Amino acid sequence: DTLWDLAIAEVEKRENPDDDDDVKPGEVWEKSILFMGNKNGGKTTIILRCLEREESPKPTLALEYTFGRRARRHNTPKDVAHFWELGGGTSLVELIRIPITVHNVRSFAVVLVLDLSKPNELWTTMESLLQVTRNHVNKILTKLEKTNPEVAAEIKQRMWNNVQRDHPDSALVDPFPIPLVIIGSKYDIFHEFDSEIRKIISKTLRFVSHYYGASLVFTSKSEALLLKARALINHLAFGYDKSKSVSVDPSKPLFIPAGLDSMSQIGPPPVSDSDLGKMRANTPLELWKKVFEKTFPPKSFSDLQDTKDPAQDSQYAEYEVDVMRAQKNQ
């Protein structure tokens, strides 16, 4: 074979990979995960723990990339997981178009980190990030339906893998197009909240996760809780076995892998029947949103936008550039 033949074969192999679950011996498994969520919500800390890196987290600017490698067995090539992290809360959500592309959407997953200590920002952050991501992925799927219908069909089929066809809620849910994990961070602060407040937040997040076919886990800086979050992420990143344990007790940190919850276990939205009757909503998601925002009025979107100029941030100081910049300003 000439070099060109080899290059063409390599490109074809990348564009039409075989199913991930039966990666052949000697082949490298590659996955990508995008972390997004509240500003200062603990995304970087979680990534560092997943990669077992002992370094202190720095604030993330815009979109950052790192990767992890693991060998499945002795003497096998290491699998690669690409970790992308979107900084700035919801202010830079348009940047998700960079990591999620037609070429890797099949092996992509999303981890949404929500800061449990800031319930008033919770719904707005979640809704805006998931909406933009979903719209972007749907555009990619529409493109794939024309160019590579088999892959598009496989992704759509996989969306429903966690919700079996005979699941009583299959008509009430709307699975996210790519695997999704929702992490409630800062559980240590959340645990000090009043039990009724905790119950509303926990119930709402259980509903949202179930609705999107996502896994849900609460975490904090405690090693035991970080290990649980790590198990879910390692499943997405390196194909490790899924955890089968479930914890739905509202007085303890929640841990619910995708597909193991149900509307009957979650129960109705936490609001009195008379209030429920007054609420106009077209979908279950809208109803839960109204109930949640009645207790936690959302912060306006502009409050969540990032206004600090990263050019003034000391961690990006560069003497020569800054001197020239000062001269230009002058």
Rounded to the nearest integer, the mean pLDDT of the chain is 80
Angle between the N-to-C axes of helices 195-211 and 119-147, in degrees from 0 to 180, rounded to the nearest 10? 0
Please check whether residue 279 lies inside any domain of the structure.
Answer: yes
Q: What is the pLDDT of residue 23?
A: 47
Please check whether residue 18 lies inside any domain of the structure.
Answer: no
* Exposure of 308 in the CB half-sphere (CA atoms within 13 A): 13
Please check whether residue 10 lies inside any domain of the structure.
Answer: no
Structurally, the chain folds into a number of domains equal to 1
Closest CA relative to residue 32, chosen from 90, 135, 110: 110
Beta-ladder partners of 111: 35, 181
Predicted confidence band of residue 16 (pLDDT cuts 50, 70, 90): low
Q: What is the pLDDT of residue 193?
A: 86
Percent of the chain with pLDDT over 90: 3
Closest CA relative to residue 82, chosen from 107, 52, 61: 107
Please check whether residue 13 lies inside any domain of the structure.
Answer: no
pLDDT in tens, 150-203: 888 888 888 777 666 667 777 777 888 888 889 988 888 888 888 888 888 888
Residue linked to tokens 């991501």: 133
Please check whether residue 1 lies inside any domain of the structure.
Answer: no
Could you tell me whether strands 180-185 and 215-218 are parallel, antiparallel, or unpaired per DSSP bridges?
Answer: parallel
231: pLDDT strictly greater than 90: no
pLDDT in tens, 71-101: 766 777 778 888 888 887 777 778 888 888 8
Q: Which domain holds residue 173?
A: 25-329
CATH number, domain at 202? 3.40.50.300
Please check whether residue 15 lies inside any domain of the structure.
Answer: no
CA distance 270 to 292: 8
pTM for the model stands at 0.79
Q: What is the pLDDT of residue 22?
A: 47
pLDDT in tens, 255-303: 888 877 778 888 887 777 667 677 777 778 888 888 888 888 887 655 5
Q: What is the pLDDT of residue 40?
A: 81
320: pLDDT strictly greater than 80: yes
The token pair at 319 is 């003497």
Predicted confidence band of residue 214 (pLDDT cuts 50, 70, 90): confident
21: pLDDT strictly greater than 50: no
Please check whether residue 14 lies inside any domain of the structure.
Answer: no
Helical spans, DSSP H, in the chain: 3-15, 43-50, 119-147, 149-159, 187-190, 195-211, 223-238, 263-266, 273-278, 284-295, 301-304, 319-329
CA distance 323 to 319: 6
Please check whether residue 280 lies inside any domain of the structure.
Answer: yes
